Chain A
Amino acid sequence: MGVEVLIKKSASDPSLILDPTTRIRDAKISCNERGFERMEGEIPLPLIQAAALFPSPGTPHATAGWNGARLFEGRLEDPALWAADVSGARFTAFGYQRAMADLPYTALWSTTDYTQFRPYTVENVAGATPELYQFDTNNRLFIGLTKGTIYGAATDGAYLGCVVPHLSSRDMIGVMFNWQTNLPVNWRLQVRTRAEDYTGAAVQKDVTPGASSGNFFLTFSGAKRLDFLLFNDTGANYTVTNETGFYYVKITNLRVVTLTTSAVNTTTTAAIAAGSNVNVPVVTTANMYVGQTLHFGIPASNGATAIVESITSATVFVADLSFAMASGGNVQAFVIYASDIVKDLLATVCATNADQLNAATIRIQSPGVDLFDETYEDRSMSSILDYLAGLGDTQSPPRVWEWGVWENRVLAFRPRGSAGRAWYINVTSLEIARTLEQMVNATYAVYKEAGGREIRTATSTDASSVRRYALTRRSAYSASTTSSVQAGVLRDVSLGDTKDPVPRASLTLDRLTSADGSIWPLWMLRPGDTITVRNVPPSIALRTRTFRVSRTEYSPAERTLDVELETPLPGLDTLLARVAAGIRGAI
């Protein structure tokens, strides 16, 4: 019972095009950290048979299996025919991770970027008179009235709005912001949504007249545009006699989102009083995190904010409150997780190329990090996944994540190595070198405040690494976010990944064994797994006996497995696992 290589019509149509198992030459099956990577080989065949690898329509589905286990599944992308001394076909099938490279992705998920807002002109919206107002999008949204200007009754409006990227797959459905005004009586500030061509304006909220400050948490039907409109609603012309900027509207702590699935949307379960370190009982603290700004619906027609200081249980968190609130008050905040984005990427692929990926989301885990500024324009989905995987999670220290597509075309997004197996082997030859070149044991993150100025987090230092090497190597991590919380997570992810020097290693082994010495099929070693070399002295420093596998290449005809480690030796990128001739590696 050997490894069977099959080429079928498609992932959803199992009609057999070709069983090349007995004829295939130079077959190689590789996996990388993103799943099944590639299967390639040559099949000596009459041309007329080889032409079957070019079905029309369709992209054939190539598999390799052994007794119910899957060594590879992917799509046959690059068939080639040759006819010289003998004829045949050369095929290269790529794992379904490639489905994430088929489509560009354009979408707004969350933004806190004030610079995305710009004044509308009369060419955009009738009655827009930006020349009569003063605008500022530096670290806030600011609209000021100008001295000596006569503002017509409900005619001369100041519009400051933003729009989703052109052809964004997602529309804005929520906004949260602090607001502060100093306006003449009966001047009105509204939050509006509208279509991309400026039509279909809908008032989502009348902010004024009324109070002069507060916080709103608004949700609405999907819209391409969101704007703030300020206008004279006194019923008569209004002439400003104060200095320019005396009357103003100021918007801060702005966040626009296109998903509310993961939002905090709960209520208090008892009356709370103002004070420091107040225990706030709520229905659920799900999706809350320390440092998160929450909207409190006090009064219900407006709102106030407080920052989560700690979360003591599934129903209680602690915050400093400048207000009291009755039981049943709203406690809300928008939250966007990487898993939300990954699920949408998957849905987008499934909607366009139904055969490529399984729609199941069971292996898409949430890192729990709230992502504030995520806008993608024409980005490759695989690059987005790489980026999201590098953002880490809320563990301490944060873990790096991985994505990949393995059996049944199921997309996984999870902590790196969390699905990996641990193997223990004896090597027959070994070369290990330690280098401090990439070791960094102190890191700070550089991120941006809303106005665009670069600011830096505190430096995080791994004390044990500094002690071990009697050396501090510090670096700056560039974090593209405006959230200090998110920047701190990224800093810690980076530190955790670099605080110990990764050894460069090359080694040769005879067979693949687990902790108890059981012998497993060679091809079961996969990227993400770790291999620990038993026959080197345990006194060698941490990570020099244990390596993470980053790529494997299996040659079934030769029964060999080439393995690339996390950091391969320069110019020597593989370790060779060769089973003695005559012994079936799989049994």
Chain B
Amino acid sequence: MATIARITDGTTTVDLIWHSTANTKYRLERDGWAPAVAPLSLSDLGGGGTYESVDEEIALDVYGTSAAAALANLDTLNTLLDQAERFWRLNQVVSPVKLQFSPNGSTAGPLQCLIRGRAKGDESAGLSLDVKALSAIKGFRIPVRIRLARNGLLLANTETATSASGSVGDLLTTTMPSTAAHASPIDAQITGFGDFDVGQPFPDMFFLFAPSSSLINIQEAEAMATGAFTSVADGNGCRGAAVLRYTPAGTTLVGSASSSGMTMAAKTIAFFAMVRNNSATTSFDINVAMSAGTHAKRTAPVTIDTSSLLPRAVALGIIAHDNELSGESYGLEIAASAASGTLDIDAIYALGINDETSAAVQVTGFDLSTGSGFSLFTDMSIRIASEVLTATEPSVKWREGTTATERGRLQYDYDPFLMSKGATVYCAVLAPGGPGGTNRWRYSTSAPAVETVALQVTRYPAYPVPR
């Protein structure tokens, strides 16, 4: 592939590579630009992936068939750079501006990324005229220098794959068409939530993502019964037809039996669970205790209060391990505020976090009964999008119908900027309720039956260096 270097908003394009017929307006100076290489971010902050943005400095000449035409072409370039900053910094309703680049001989196709505006610390407009500009314009040439900031990763054409349908609460597997060489942004769309009617409360949900099935361990809680922890049949759509019930005899901390052993290539594990407090007066503190040879490690206790007597998805905290897991098990420890009431646990999810390709995103519930102008939405899906070429921040939206009509943003928690590397993306959806009733352990149809959903992943193969 011949060299490509252009700045475009999709409508207006400034091609920086001179061509005797296709582009006579702009010419990149010889040795006038070396693309910057995106480094790993020094920051723990999320929202934009694990690579930092970079600054580019590009020297080029602007030409025209006349001095006026050259000035007009200069204005076009400046307008695009102005627009990029309006989009990124000022959040105005203008199209995003992208830098597209492909070196000579590239096989990855034109790579692209969003331009954020002028470079850090640049007091100019991002474009400055060379000192020879006014004299050179007599020859219909204007030498200029651009200093811009752009997203660090260069993105190739997207690839998309969809998993087979699976029940809410089960593991969904999406096999991508190729293996990404680097952690790359993805958009994840979970389809199949069915119809959603006015007045129906939409529950808090957790979406867990990982690159390997072993990194999302699902434990049937009822298998951890012992003593005050008993297995109780439950017909409300739980996993395995039974839940683990803790019946407190006092207020001291009581431990369950151990889970099955876990083997996963991760040293940090985040735990989640579907729980239900059956008491309007007794609160419970719950934590995970994980065996680590001769001792146990614990998450900080999480309070399951009396604000709801319905199933809910909760995060139980984080445990770090000295090595990747090889058969380690864990138990639950629960303390009650009184020797009364019961706490049910359906399933426990352990998410191995080895790098940025594992993630947990919470979608915060809502209730349309207090709104107006809403009607039945059909065939709902939820899209967690990196917006890496379209917006300044990631988003979580709900969509309707097979055409995936955007219905607006959802409230969320934790970093929704998802990334993937390798050939597969796995997802577990922790979602109670649904049209089948708020008492359902897993999002259910009105029948009620546990809903089946699918995971569609769109990946933007990313490169820190030109490819």
- B411 near A27 with CB under 8 A, answer no
B93 at the interface (CB under 8 A from A): no
18 contacts between A and B (CB under 8 A): A2-B43, A4-B415, A6-B413, A19-B47, A65-B413, A67-B351, A67-B360, A67-B414, A69-B315, A358-B303, A359-B305, A360-B306, A362-B303, A406-B300, A515-B295, A519-B320, A558-B43, A584-B44
B359 touches A1 (CB 8 A): yes
Contact A585 B47 (CB under 8 A): no
In the bound complex, what is the Cα–Cα distance between A3 and B300 (angstroms)?
A: 18
The one of B90, B285, B297, B414 in contact with A362, judged by C-beta atoms closer than 8 angstroms, is B285
Are A44 and B89 also in contact (CB < 8 A) when A2-B47, A518-B267 are?
yes
B41, B42, B292, B307, most chain A CB atoms within 10 A: B42
Could you tell me the distance between the alpha carbons of A66 and B305 in the complex, rounded to whole angstroms? 22
Contacting pair A519 B267 (CB below 8 A): yes
Residues in B whose Cβ lies below 8 Å from that of A360 = 283, 303, 305-306, 337
Q: Which residues of B contact A67 (CB under 8 A)?
A: 270, 315, 318, 351, 353, 358-360, 414
Question: How many Å lie between the Cα of A14 and that of B417 in the bound state?
Answer: 19
In chain A, positions 1-47 with a C-beta closer than 8 Å to chain B are 1-6, 8, 14-16, 19, 21-24, 27, 44-46
The answer to whether A19 touches B393, judged by C-beta atoms less than 8 angstroms apart, is yes
Contacts of A363 in B (CB 8 A): 285, 303
Are B315 and A556 in contact (CB-based, < 8 A)? Answer: no
**B317 in contact (CB, < 8 A):** yes
Tell me if B415 and A27 are in contact (CB < 8 A).
no
B335 within 8 A of A: yes
Contact of B335 among A23, A362, A524 (CB under 8 A): A362
Q: Is A473 an interface residue (CB 8 A)?
A: no
Shortest Cβ distance from residue A70 to the other chain B in the assembled complex, whole angstroms: 8
- A1, B45: Cβ atoms under 8 Å? no
- Among A19, A44, A408, the residue within 8 A (CB) of B303 is A408
- Inter-chain contact A3/B317, CB cutoff 8 Å: no
CB distance from B243 to the nearest CB of A (A): 21
Q: B residues 190-242 with Cβ under 8 Å of A?
A: 206
**Option from A22, A68, A557, A559 in Cβ contact (under 8 Å) with B393:** A22
Shortest beta-carbon contacts, A-B, top 9:
A2-B46, A68-B315, A21-B47, A362-B337, A22-B47, A14-B364, A556-B44, A362-B283, A1-B359
Contact with A along B285-315 (1 / 0, CB 8 A): 1000000110101001111011100000001
**Docked CA distance A516–B206 (Å):** 31
- A519 proximity list for chain B (CB < 8 A): 267, 320
* Closest A residue to B321 using CB positions: A518
Nearest chain B CB to A416 CB, angstrom units: 16
B295 near A516 with CB under 8 A, answer: yes
Which chain A residues in 48-76 approach chain B with CB under 8 Å? 49, 63, 65-69
| Complex interface residues of chain A between 322 and 367 (CB less than 8 A to chain B) | 358-363
Considering only CB atoms, which chain B residue lies closest to A359 in the complex? B305
Which of B297, B302, B354 is the one whose CB lies under 8 Å from A587?
B354
Residue ID in chain B nearest A69 by CB atoms: B318
Known: A558-B42, A585-B44. A69 touches B392 (CB 8 A): no
Do B362 and A408 have beta carbons less than 8 Å apart? no
Q: Fill in one digit per residue for A381-401: 1 if any B CB lies within 8 Å of its CB, else 0.
A: 000000000000000000000
Q: Which residue of A lies closest to B323 (CB)?
A: A518
Contacts A3-B44, A363-B285 given; indicate if A69 touches B317 (C-beta within 8 A).
yes
CA distance A362 to B277 in the complex (A): 14
CA distance A45 to B270 in the complex (A): 34
CB contacts under 8 Å to A, within B397-421, are 409, 411-419
Most buried by B among A27, A65, A406: A65
Task: Say whether B272 faces chain A, with CB atoms less than 8 Å apart.
Answer: yes
Contact A4 B337, CB 8 Å, known A14-B411, A22-B392, A408-B303: no
Q: Which residues of B contact A (CB under 8 A)?
A: 39-48, 50, 89-91, 206, 267-268, 270-272, 283-285, 292-293, 295, 297, 300-303, 305-307, 315-318, 320-322, 335-337, 351, 353-356, 358-360, 362, 364-365, 392-393, 409, 411-419
> Is A462 located at the chain interface by the 8 A CB criterion?
no
**Cβ A581 vs Cβ B315 within 8 A:** no
Q: Name 19 extra pairs, CB < 8 A, besides A23-B392, A67-B270, A557-B45.
A: A1-B353, A2-B48, A3-B45, A4-B416, A6-B412, A46-B90, A63-B413, A360-B283, A360-B305, A362-B285, A408-B305, A419-B301, A516-B292, A516-B322, A518-B321, A521-B268, A556-B44, A557-B42, A582-B40
A517 at the interface (CB under 8 A from B): yes
How many Å lie between the Cα of A586 and that of B90 in the bound state?
31
Interface residues on A, range: 35 or more
Interface residues of A, dominant DSSP: loop
**For residue A4, which residues in chain B have a CB less than 8 angstroms away from its CB?**
45-47, 413-416
Is the pair B46, A361 in contact by a Cβ cutoff of 8 Å?
no
Chain A residue with the shortest CB-CB distance to B43: A557
The answer for the CA separation of A150 and B144 in the assembled complex, in Å, is 114
- Do the beta carbons of B320 and A21 come within 8 Å of each other? no
Q: How far is the CB of B110 from chain A (nearest CB, A)?
A: 25
* B-chain residues with CB within 8 Å of residue A516 when the two chains form the complex: 292-293, 295, 322
Q: A27 touching B45 by the CB < 8 A rule?
A: yes
How many Å lie between the Cα of A559 and that of B318 in the bound state? 19
Chain A residues, CB < 8 A from B306: 359-360
A514 to B418, CA, bound (A): 29
The reply on A407 being an interface residue by CB < 8 A is yes
* Chain A positions 268-289 with a Cβ under 8 Å from a chain B Cβ: none
A22 touches B91 (CB 8 A): no
Which B residues are in CB contact (< 8 Å) with A198? none
Min distance, Cβ B425 to any Cβ of chain A, angstroms: 14
Q: Say yes or no: is A410 at the interface (Cβ < 8 Å to chain B).
A: yes
- Contact A22 B42, CB 8 Å, known A44-B89, A362-B337: no
Q: Given the known inter-chain contacts A67-B353, A67-B359, A358-B303, please indicate yes or no for A559 contacting B44, CB distance below 8 A.
A: yes
Q: Are B46 and A3 in contact (CB under 8 A)?
A: yes
Query: What chain B residues lie within 8 Å of A361 (beta carbons)?
Result: 283, 337
Q: Are B268 and A587 in contact (CB under 8 A)?
A: yes
From B283, B392, B414, B418, give the contact of A65 (CB < 8 A).
B414
Tell whether A520 is near chain B: CB-to-CB under 8 Å. Answer: yes
Please tell me if the beta carbons of B337 and A8 are within 8 angstroms of each other in the complex. Answer: no
Given contacts A16-B409, A587-B355, contact A68 B267 (CB under 8 A): no
Shortest beta-carbon distance from B188 to chain A in Å: 13
| Interface 0/1 of A575-587, CB less than 8 Å to B | 0000001101111
Bound Cα distance from A1 to B384, whole angstroms: 13
* A2/B415 in contact, CB under 8 A: yes
B322 → chain A closest CB, angstroms:
4
Beta-carbon contact of A586 and B415 below 8 Å: no
Identity of the chain B residue whose Cβ is nearest the Cβ of A86 in the assembled complex: B89
Contacts A24-B45, A360-B306, A362-B285; A584 near B50 (Cβ below 8 A): yes
Instruction: Tell me whether A419 and B300 are in contact (CB under 8 A).
Output: yes
Which of B45, B362, B364 interacts with A2 by CB under 8 Å? B45
A406: B residues at CB distance < 8 A: 300
- In contact, B392 and A16 (Cβ under 8 angstroms): no
In the complex, A6→B285 CA distance in Å? 26
A3 to B353 alpha-carbon distance, docked (Å): 14
User: A408 to B297, Cβ gap below 8 A?
Assistant: no
Q: Which of A3, A65, A68, A363 has the most CB of B within 10 A?
A: A68
Q: Which has the most chain B C-beta neighbours within 10 Å: A19, A358, A406?
A: A19
- Which residues of chain B are within 8 angstroms of A359 by Cβ–Cβ distance? 305-306
Q: A65-B414, A358-B303 are in contact. Are A518 and B320 (CB under 8 A)?
A: yes
| B409 CB contacts on chain A under 8 angstroms | 16
Contact partners of B318 in chain A: CB under 8 A: 67-69, 520-521, 524
Residues of A within 8 A of B307 (CB): 358
Residue of B nearest to A406 (CB): B300
Select B42's contact among A3, A517, A582, beta carbons within 8 Å. A582
Chain A residues near B271 (CB-CB < 8 A): 68
**Is A68 touching B42 in the complex (CB atoms < 8 A)?**
no
Distance in Å: Cβ of A582 to nearest Cβ of chain B: 5
CA of A520 to CA of B269, assembled, Å:
10
